[in-house]
Amino acid sequence: MHLYSYLALGDSYTIGESVPLQKSFPYQLVQKLRDKEYNFQAPEIIARTGWTIEELEEGMKNYRLLPRYDFVTLLIGVNNQYQGQEVIQYKEVLEELLKKCIEVVNGKKDHVLLLSIPDYSFTPYAAQLDTEKITREIEVFNSVGRALSIQYKIQHVDISEEWNLARNNPEFIAADGLHPSEKLYQKWSKKLVELITTQLK
């Protein structure tokens, strides 16, 4: 029986800041796949709270990757936006990272899943910030992700529908008033399971 490997790349949204690690979306994703009788190893996670895309790229260089993974998820960029960085800089590094992701899944482009950056403008944390600016800028960052996904023929996963549930439901926001709760990560993982299982049939 094939033992599948999965690499999760990102920032606080990937490690599940403010929820137990086992409730982060990569762990919930693997659990759901195991429930469907797919033999998955625990996810390998390269992610830190506060990481920009450049810091993720640096973090990957210092990590001993397996020669190959079956699937890779990538969710990165919110800290680039938060720090007021240029989107062109983000695009250049994202392109390099996507090439690397395609390489580690042995060229199976549809086994690379790029998740959209959540628009955190409606969270309690953002109440004192320029919310319109946040929404506008994150949309620009996400449009870059969508365009590169088409260019490199990888899967772009728009999680805004699930994320927007948190607008009127406090239970979908973690105690820190910014990050998703385990309930919301569950919805992200469910969406990813559907996309991944289509590649396993």
| pLDDT score, position 1 | 75
- The Cα–Cα gap between 2 and 73 comes to 20
Which residue, among 19, 8, 11, has the nearest Cα to 184 in the 3D structure? Answer: 19
User: Please, what is the Cα angle at 55 between 173 and 150, to 5 degrees?
Assistant: 75
Domains recognised in the chain with CATH numbers: 6-200 (3.40.50.1110)
- The Cα–Cα gap between 11 and 13 comes to 5
Residue with tokens 């390099």: 96
| pLDDT score, position 79 | 98
| pLDDT score, position 201 | 72
| pLDDT score, position 37 | 94
| pLDDT score, position 190 | 97
pTM over 0.85: yes
| pLDDT per residue of the chain (201 residues) written in tens, 0 to 9 | 789 999 999 999 999 999 999 999 999 999 999 999 999 999 999 999 999 999 999 999 989 999 999 999 999 999 999 999 999 999 999 999 999 999 999 999 999 999 999 999 999 999 999 999 999 999 999 999 999 999 999 999 999 999 999 998 999 999 999 999 999 999 999 999 999 999 987
Which residue, among 68, 65, 71, has the nearest Cα to 112 in the 3D structure? Answer: 71
Kindly state the tokens that stand for 109.
């482009």
CB atoms inside a 10 Å sphere around CB 39? 10
| pLDDT score, position 13 | 97
